[in-house]
Structure 1
Amino acid sequence: MKKKILITSFDLAIGGVERSLIGLLNQIDYAKYDVDLLLFKHEGEFLSNIPDGPNLLPEEPSYTTFRKSIQQIVKEGFYPIAISRVIAKYSGVLHGKVKKVEEPGYLSIQYGWELTTRHLPKLNKEYDVAIGFLWPHHFIGEKVKAKKKIGWIHTDYSNIYVNKKIEKKMWRKIDDIVVVSEECSQTFLDVFPDFKEKTTVIENILSPDFVREQAKADIPKEISNLPGKTILVTVGRLTHAKGLDEAIRACKKLIDEGFDIQWYVVGYGPLENELRNLIMKLGIEKQFILLGKKINPYPYIAACDIYVQPSRYEGKAVTIREAQVLGKPVVITNFPTAKSQAENGFDALITECGQNGIARGIAKMIVDDEFRGQIVSNVLTKDYGNENEINKIYGLINN
């Protein structure tokens, strides 16, 4: 008899976690497992990439409220959820101010789920295994009946601030914790050492054949590769974590030093206006270009001379591996988990965080032809495929 599996996430908007989920769904053996996919919202550019195997469950209106405004929630008649969201919002803001937290967004999300989960309906169906693919995991912990519950971590706990009491309470209801890299595992266990025995590292599943196929699917018309000009590309959400403000300043620094560069950013997010204002302030509108959402980012990566990841922190940046699969020289900042992404001097250049480090790293990659050529040679000969990671997931499911 097939095991009944539930996989939950929020939606399939463009993002690294969502691409990783599609990678997982494409690797599951549906002859052996009966999989229900629960998306809180049936939206996102990757919806059409769901393979034939999983059964997409109908959308439940109350589950869709988490990324809606409080005003919209009231309009739709979910009054207890709206009241809880108001309390959660001010609780998160107050906690963040008291602790002087630089990025209080994780606190707001925590309080939101902690206070509103009680108002959500439970799923009627019972499962052998429930997998929460996107943090936090209050939903599978409290609203799903399953013999085993597995929660994924995609971020670096050394760079986020969470309410430890709420977090511990949530993780105690999860049987297995999956972390996407050794470094992410260590930063999580530094904060919550009690959960060591149930923590496992399973990398995001990446198919090199899929990446290469998608890279040939389109030609990015926005990018004109003129002689002598160096094309830089970054893919990521426009958030504090991705360090794009530092990238903009690094771009200005390189231009002032005489480098002929054009830097394209594929992605969207809450800091778009702030970043556009900084680009205008520095007068580099023609050199630093925000392209917005792209369903398929791979042709843009394929079109670049150098791929740059200027992040302040990452869990496991799928885009770095994708750029390497496409044979690109990669410059990444030395965020805490960087060494899980690449080997400095072999298949990437790991440079200091901040505008000066980013600028120096890019400059070296541009001017040192021999170094850049060796990086490209190395990434072209290395096998970045890790489809066998699915066997670790099967191990957790069947144990």
Structure 2
Amino acid sequence: MSKKILFVTDEMTLGGVSRVLNNLLQELGANTSHEIDVLVLHKHGEMLKDIPANIRVIEGSPFFKVIDQPLNQVIKSKNLRLILNKLYLLFLMKTGSIGKKIQAERKKMKLDSYDVEIAFKEGFCTIFVAYGNSRKKINWVHLDYKKQNFSANHMPLMKKVLQLIDENVAVSRVAAKSYQEVFGLKEEVKVIHNVIQEKMIKEKSKQEVPQEYVKLFKGDALTFISVGRLVEQKGYDRLINIHRRLMSEGFDHQIMIIGSGEDEAALRQAIEEFGCQETFKLIGFKENPFAYFKLADCFLLPSRYEGLPTVVFESFICKTPVIATEVAGIEEQLKGDQYGLVTENNEEKFYEAMKNVLVNPSLLTAMRQNLENYHYKNSVIIDQFNQLVEGTYGK
């Protein structure tokens, strides 16, 4: 049965959750009859343009313009109005008064009542949905909350809010179990993996890469690639340390990182201090990262924590093997060493895994051969989503 559905997110900047949302919207638009709107509380970000044209995008009221910005970042802006707005928001969160403010802002926005309202990014979006008037309220979890609890400063509020949520869903089994235990939820957190646009990724992977970048990948040395935001979570700081160590031991190789983020200046400084500018490259945000995958021998995921690293699936579709830290969801992607290697989540073990493939490059050759038969199925995920909104999933 067709439903009127609202997805709620805080922003649409380049990142995993925004891409996951757009992938799901594409698949739902093609395979369901649901009427779907997306509310972006602070309407900005590179991924806005990738929301399907048939999806109505709603902008949050001005009150929510600071929702995705840390207090220190707002203070640096020296914009008094934004600073006061952020402090007011934090005061409402701390005192538990945020519910009434959300209800008032929803009235200003003349937000409709929906059959289903989904907080697609857990945290403030969960609070926003909880204080709405939609018939069914769903909270979507993308992180392992035992590794990183973004609600740590507002636990009483979040526990109260979660009582107003009808269903909690996580992107991996580990993320689901962690969320349930951290918040003491009685009901089981359901698991629905991320949608991946396999056909689109294959088509984009065939596109040409500018020659200036092709040259970076040439040579006899193995080339590793990674794609992600330049933030502490992604572990690129420890990857620089590993690279320096391997190079000093005579293991010639190159590492290319696609992405941008708040830690870019610090990472560039570390690269310069270690003198590895020629072999460790930050090549910035790329509209189509998939075209670069085929130039590399292996994809690296040195993350400190994840919920379900979608980029690993994307790498497999591009026939590129992976070395990944043991984060939530990885065991649901890498079983054995068929497509890649999983390491304990520390710098030493990741170093050992990279050294292993540098000493034995035939390992990567075998993984590439295995990936020739790799396919990702979205049909199961869409069936689970439809069951979720109908209230039959898991029953």
TM-score, structure 1 length as denominator? 0.86
Aligned pair 1:152/2:140, yes or no?
Answer: yes
Equivalent position amino acid for 2:14 in 1: I
Q: How many residues align?
A: 374
> Partner of 2:27 in structure 1?
27
**Which runs of no fewer than 5 residues in structure 2 stay unpaired?**
none
Residue 312 of structure 2 corresponds to residue 329 of structure 1: no
Any idea what SS the aligned residue of 2:134 has? strand
Q: 8 Å contact 1:235–1:266 — kept in the other structure? A: yes
1:140 corresponds in structure 2 to: 129
1:211 aligns with 2:201: yes
Asked if 1 retains the 8 angstrom alpha-carbon contact of 2:41 and 2:59, the reply is no
- Per-residue Cα deviation, 1:225-284 (whole angstroms, up to 9, x for no partner): 223122111111122221111100010011112122111111222222222222122121
Contact 1:268 1:293 in 2 (8 A): yes
Task: Tell me the residue number matched to 1:46.
Answer: 47
- 1:277 pairs with 241, 266, 269, which one? 269
**Deviation at 1:319?**
0.7
Three-state SS of the structure 1 residue aligned to 2:46 is coil
SS of the residue 1:7 aligns to: strand
The answer (yes or no) to whether the contact 1:70–1:85 under 8 Å persists in 2 is: no
Alignment of 1:119 with 2:101, yes or no, is yes
- Residues 317-359 of structure 1: CA deviation (Å, up to 9, x unaligned): 1111110111111111123543123113111111233332222
The SS at the match of 2:335 is coil
Letter in 1 for 2:121: L
Contact 2:307 / 2:328 at 8 angstroms: preserved in 1?
A: no
Structure 1 residue 145, shift from structure 2 partner: 1.4
Question: 1:168 aligned to 152, 159, 165, which one?
Answer: 159
Identify the residue that residue 339 of structure 1 maps to in structure 2: 331
Structure 2 distance, partners of 1:301, 1:3, is 38
Q: Give the 3 Å change call, closer, same or farther, for CA 4–70 of structure 1 in structure 2.
A: farther
Match of 1:192 in 2: 183
> CA contact under 8 A between 1:126 and 1:146: conserved in structure 2?
yes
- Give the partner amino acid of 1:285: Q
In structure 2, relative to structure 1, the CA distance for the partners of 1:112 and 1:319 (3 Å cut) is farther
Contact 1:313 1:337 in 2 (8 A): no
SS, match of residue 173 in structure 1: coil
Q: CA RMSD in A?
A: 2.5
Q: Which amino acid aligns with 2:382?
A: I
Unaligned runs of 5+ in 1: 89-110
Please give the alpha-carbon distance, in whole angstroms, between the structure 1 residues aligned to 2:359 and 2:16.
31
Measure, in 2, the Cα distance between the counterparts of 1:71 and 1:324: 40
What TM-score do you get using the length of structure 2 for normalisation? 0.87
For residues 34 and 390 of structure 1, what CA distance do their matches in structure 2 show? Answer: 15
TM-superposed CA distance for 1:113, in Å, is 11
> Counterparts in 2 of 1:1-399, with a 5 A limit?
2-29=2-29, 32-68=33-69, 69=74, 75-76=80-81, 79=84, 81-85=85-89, 87=91, 111=93, 116=98, 118-120=100-102, 121-122=105-106, 123-136=110-123, 137-142=126-131, 144-161=132-149, 162=152, 163-197=154-188, 199-220=189-210, 221-224=212-215, 225-399=217-391
List per-residue Cα deviations over 1:105-129 (Å, max 9, x = no partner): xxxxxx5796656434015311110
The amino acid that maps onto 1:182 is R
Greater than 3 Å deviation, 4+ residue runs: 70-79, 85-88, 111-120
Per mean C-alpha deviation after superposition, the further-off stretch among 163-172 and 315-324 is: 163-172
Higher deviation after alignment, 279-288 or 305-314 = 279-288
Q: CA deviation at 1:218?
A: 4.0
The amino acid across from 1:189 in the alignment is Q
Deviates more, 1:234-243 or 1:55-64: 55-64
Task: Decide whether the 8 Å contact of 1:45 with 1:295 is kept in 2.
Answer: no
Deviations, residues 172-205 of structure 1 (Å, cap 9, x unaligned): 12111110011111222232343434x2100010
